[in-house]
């Protein structure tokens, strides 16, 4: 590899490394925002829920917007490294690209990718915790609504054989 090829390779590695580092950092922040959102759900803090929801949406959008640049940078790096067998069913992955890089560059890229995967696992856990918290809240609302509905059709006088008369009326629009 000549000096120009080496500089081009180094430049492609730097670009991809920066993008992966940004995605990893944004993914960690997204995980933290989702955990904070779940805590706010549990404590019924509507202002914090809104704040963390907006933050999570912005971070998710940011991560998605970085994805085309990451794909392009990985493709450019692959092109600089040399031909890959694209006719086979084997997908060109970061791991396959890293196998052709100097050890330190390969380790840096793979560590950044591992950071993203770890953050994604944290995001999945936080999402599941939020889902569970929301389901518990919905179960409570459903239970409360059933209690209210049952008491709405309770007879006015106990033991009265007449048809039940609602003791109060529910707002039909609700």
For 62-79, what is each residue's pLDDT tens digit?
Answer: 999 999 999 999 999 998
Q: Per the domain annotation, does 116 fall within a domain?
A: yes
**Any idea what DSSP says for residue 173?**
T
Q: Which range of residues forms the domain containing residue 35? A: 3-132
Surface-to-core class of residue 18, CB atoms within 10 Å of its CB (0-12 exposed, 13-18 middle, 19+ buried): middle
Tell me how far apart the alpha carbons of residues 120 and 55 are, in angstroms, rounded to a whole number: 16
The mean of the pLDDT values for the chain is: 85
Cβ neighbors of 147 (< 8 A, separation 6 or more) are: none
pLDDT at 91: 73
Q: Per the domain annotation, does 158 fall within a domain?
A: no
Closest listed residue to residue 31, CA positions, set 128, 131, 125: 125
Q: Per the domain annotation, does 140 fall within a domain?
A: no
pLDDT at 87: 59
Q: How many CB atoms lie within 10 A of CB 27?
A: 23
pLDDT at 152: 72
> Where do we find the tokens 């990985």?
74
Q: How many residues does the chain have?
A: 174
Q: Per the domain annotation, does 137 fall within a domain?
A: no
**pTM, two decimal places:** 0.75
Contact between residue 120 and residue 20 where contact means Cβ atoms under 8 Å apart: no
Which stretches in the chain have pLDDT values below 50? 2-3, 174
Structure tokens at 100: 């052709």
Domain count, the chain: 1
> Where do we find the tokens 């008369």?
165
Rg (CA), the chain: 28
pLDDT at 23: 95
Q: Is 50 strand, coil or helix?
A: helix
Q: How many CB atoms lie within 10 A of CB 126?
A: 21
Q: Per the domain annotation, does 124 fall within a domain?
A: yes
pLDDT at 151: 76
> Which long-range contacts link 97-101 to residues 24+ away (Cβ below 8 Å)?
101/9, 101/13
């Amino acid at each position: 590899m000549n000096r120009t090829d080496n500089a081009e390779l180094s430049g492609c590695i730097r670009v991809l490394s920066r993008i992966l580092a940004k995605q990893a950092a944004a993914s960690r922040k997204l995980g933290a925002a989702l955990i904070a959102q779940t805590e706010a759900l549990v404590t019924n803090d509507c202002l914090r829920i809104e704040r963390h929801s907006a933050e999570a949406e912005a971070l998710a959008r940011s991560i998605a917007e970085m994805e085309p640049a990451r794909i392009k940078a990985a493709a450019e790096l692959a092109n600089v490294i040399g031909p890959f067998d694209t006719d086979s069913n084997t997908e060109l992955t970061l791991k396959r690209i890293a196998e052709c890089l100097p050890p330190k560059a390969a380790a840096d890229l793979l560590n950044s990718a591992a950071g993203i995967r770890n953050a994604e696992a944290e995001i999945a856990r936080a999402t599941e915790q939020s889902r569970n918290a929301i389901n518990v809240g919905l179960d409570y609302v459903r239970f409360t609504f059933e209690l209210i509905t049952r008491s709405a059709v309770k007879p006015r006088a106990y033991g009265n054989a007449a048809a039940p008369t609602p003791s109060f009326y529910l707002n039909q629009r609700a």
